[in-house]
Amino acid sequence: MVFLKFKKGKFSTNKLISKSESFKKIRHQKNQSNSNLASGIREEHDYCVTVSDNLNVIKPVSNIAGGRSDEEVELIYDRTDILPDNLVPLNFCRFIIEIDLIIQGLESCSNCMKPLHLKDSLGVLPRGLGGWLYIECKQCIRVKKIPLSKRHFTTPSKRGPGVFDVNTKIATGMLHVGLGETQLSNLLASVNLHYLSVSGLKTREEEVGAALESYAEESMIKYLNMESNLQENTHGLLTCNVAKRKGIVPKEHKCSKNHTGSSKGMEPALVVNMIKDVINKGVDIKEIAGYDDTTGFQRAQNVLKIKLKKRSDKNHIKKNISKQIYAIKKNYKELSQRVINYIMQDFSYMVAQNKKKNTEGVTTGLKAMVGHIFVDHSFCNTKWCVFLENPLAKFSKLPYGKPLQNLELKKELDRIFIKKLSIQAQKLANLASTQTNENLNQMLATKAPKYKHYSASNSLSYRFSATLTVAQKNEGHRYVHEVHESMGLSPGNFTIKRATFMDKIRRKYSKLQKTRKYKRRKIELKSEKCNSNGIAVVLEGTTYESNIDIEDDITDQLEEIPTWKQITAEENFPIIVFDLETTGLSRQSDIVQIAAVTEKETFSAYVTPSKKITPQASDITKLAFFDGQMYYDEVPVESSPPFEVFANLIAFLSKFPSKPTLVGHNIKTFDCHILYNQLNKLKMWDEFCLYLNGFIDTRILCKSEYPGRQSYKQCDLVSDF
């Protein structure tokens, strides 16, 4: 008779003995099972081991040994193996293993003490990223299970097979980097790593979340004096919602719902709750900093019956002022982006110089900053105003170095800065900064993106705990291995190394951000970006606008200048200096005047435009067009249709014995675009090119010949040379 017994020595029941007959059939089908299974598995590499040659895989049997498949099984008859249902071959997918545990497990068989070999592996029982390696001993026909990685127990009794550490740590990593279950599983599957099931990952998340929240509470108490505005927000729980739909009392659970009012009422309510929590921890609060568009401050005083001082956020104040300036921008052409940036920069400097509750300094500074840009230096200070010592100095950050002159604009700025803000001088002299909180909110967004719905469960609380108390804020990246240690897991040498490196980078960058050089370079880059963007908008024309694609004719707006070609110039080619005047500053503007001159020849013609001449262009060119009549400096001049003018221009170019070259300053970025668009619209570009050698931009030429100059403007070059 055949007997089946467990490792502990207890004989099996008669019911199990009756299954021995099925083992004989399995043994008979063993070879066919191996070949069929091997044909269904795609090997990742041509050098991997084939199933049929080296793996002793058989058809799985359900519920072997009374459901105790997690124990080592000894089979005392023949060489038939009893394997669990979900055993997979070694080349089915990848697993995360700890080599030292594998080596330790291969040292000897538990029965005969003979060494085991990997080539005798029967497969792996997956458990998330870990699992059990089943190996057959060729000496005693015994199957041994070897864990692929370390394990721990989640209950004091330490019963069962335990939980693989790597599965718990992958849940920590998911919270740490802000991934969701689907994203994490897709990432692991893309490298063919076995991943956890949804329920398994949720269980590990709850295990880590409990440790994170405990760690969070300790860290919040530790850093309470450094953090004045911690924010934790969730919106209800699925358990409560299900119970409400069914009309029953929800079961006992950890509920994350903490607000039932409107979304706009959430912020004041949270301010009250946070202040209350801090007071309950024994911390005395005297003042809070925040925005001026919420009633949280007043509500906290009324509900909690305490006296608090409110400090406004300086960045929010600046934002509100800039909105008022942008609102009047459309009425004043002088308010370019460059001028607005200069005004706001002056305001920031003024506030910084009087931040130590210097109310009188703020009042005087508001008057000085407006008068300063209009050449009224009666309130200026010699510490920062160079005009008091050198009245002929130029503004380094205003267009052309000249002050503003529009008195109507001055009245508007007086209304904004003097009439409105002077009465708030005491508040402006004691502003605070909530940048730390904004940085915290940015971290929260990486842990729990708004487009992901985590608020229906405790997942949101776990993710916020990973941020509010530790991740890059209170403790730095070291919180990952410290939480693992608090759970009884190994901290991980490489985890510690990575955390140390990231915290070092963080401290270095934080120190760099406080330097004057960094702040100055940040302003320069912002200015450069603003200038380049403005130029690009002009050159590109209208590229995005409501209903632009359904207009009748947008061909002109979509035209692009062909790629420039390198042309070999003829010797002694004629030089023609030319200039254009246009209806505006965009690439779709019409040409209103063309002028060209050589040593002996000249050409000048006014062109009848099809578009209105903008006020800005008219101020520069002194040209105007009303009722079919062109005016120059209010004097009527004769203009001709575009086709006639360009035909005369081509005739002018054709008179030269060799092809001439057109020369102008900064023509590559403006004049050439306009000229091409006009000629191409009239189907005259090809004919124009027959009589032209090419173009020379003197601005680019001067940059090449005289590098390092502060200015390459035409007026500066003329005055210097």
Mean pLDDT by 10 residues, the chain (721 residues): 42 51 53 45 42 36 33 35 78 87 89 88 89 89 89 85 89 82 81 85 85 75 52 46 72 63 72 78 76 73 79 84 89 85 89 83 89 89 87 83 88 90 84 76 71 66 55 72 80 79 86 88 82 68 68 52 54 85 86 91 91 85 87 89 92 89 89 90 89 89 83 80 71
> Per the structure, how many domains does the chain have?
3
What domain range is 566 assigned to? 559-720
CATH of the domain at 638: 3.30.420.10
The reported pLDDT for the residue numbered 718 is 80
Distance, CA of 576 to CA of 660 (rounded, Å): 7
- Which region, left, alpha or beta, applies to residue 476 given φ > 0 means left and ψ of -120 to 50 means alpha? left
Half-sphere exposure of 148 (CA within 13 A, CB side): 22
Q: Has residue 487 been placed in a domain?
A: no
Q: Is residue 270 part of a domain?
A: no
How far is residue 295's CA from residue 318's CA, in Å, rounded to a whole number?
A: 20
Report yes or no on 277 lying in a domain. no
Residue 591 near residue 600, CB atoms below 8 Å: no
Residue-by-residue DSSP string for 48-85? SPPHHHH-------TTGGGG-TTS-EEEESTT-----T
Residue 480 lies in a domain: no
Helical spans, DSSP H, in 309-458: 314-329, 337-353, 359-372, 407-414, 425-428, 435-447
* Residue 308, domain member (yes or no): no
Q: What pLDDT shows up at residue 477?
A: 79
Domain closes at, from 149, 174, 204: 149
* Helix or strand (DSSP H, E) at 501: helix 493-513
Q: What is the largest CA-CA distance in the chain?
A: 125
pLDDT of residue 603: 93
The answer to whether position 613 is within a domain reads yes
Q: pTM here?
A: 0.48
Q: Is residue 170 part of a domain?
A: no
The residue type at 717: L
Does a structural domain hold residue 80? yes
Q: Identify the domain boundary among 120, 149, 178.
A: 149
Q: What is the pLDDT of residue 147?
A: 92
Closest alpha carbon to 208 in 152, 139, 150: 152
The Cα 187–Cα 44 span in angstroms is 18
**Considering just the CA atoms, what is the radius of gyration of the chain in Å?**
39
Domain final position from 149, 173, 190: 149
Decide: 567 and 693 in contact? Cβ < 8 Å. Answer: yes
Instruction: Look at residue 223 in the predicted model and tell me its pLDDT.
Output: 61
Query: What is the structure's pLDDT at 230?
Result: 37
* Predicted pLDDT at 592: 93
Answer yes or no: are the C-beta atoms of 141 and 79 closer than 8 Å: yes
Do the beta carbons of residue 366 and residue 421 sit within 8 Å? Answer: yes
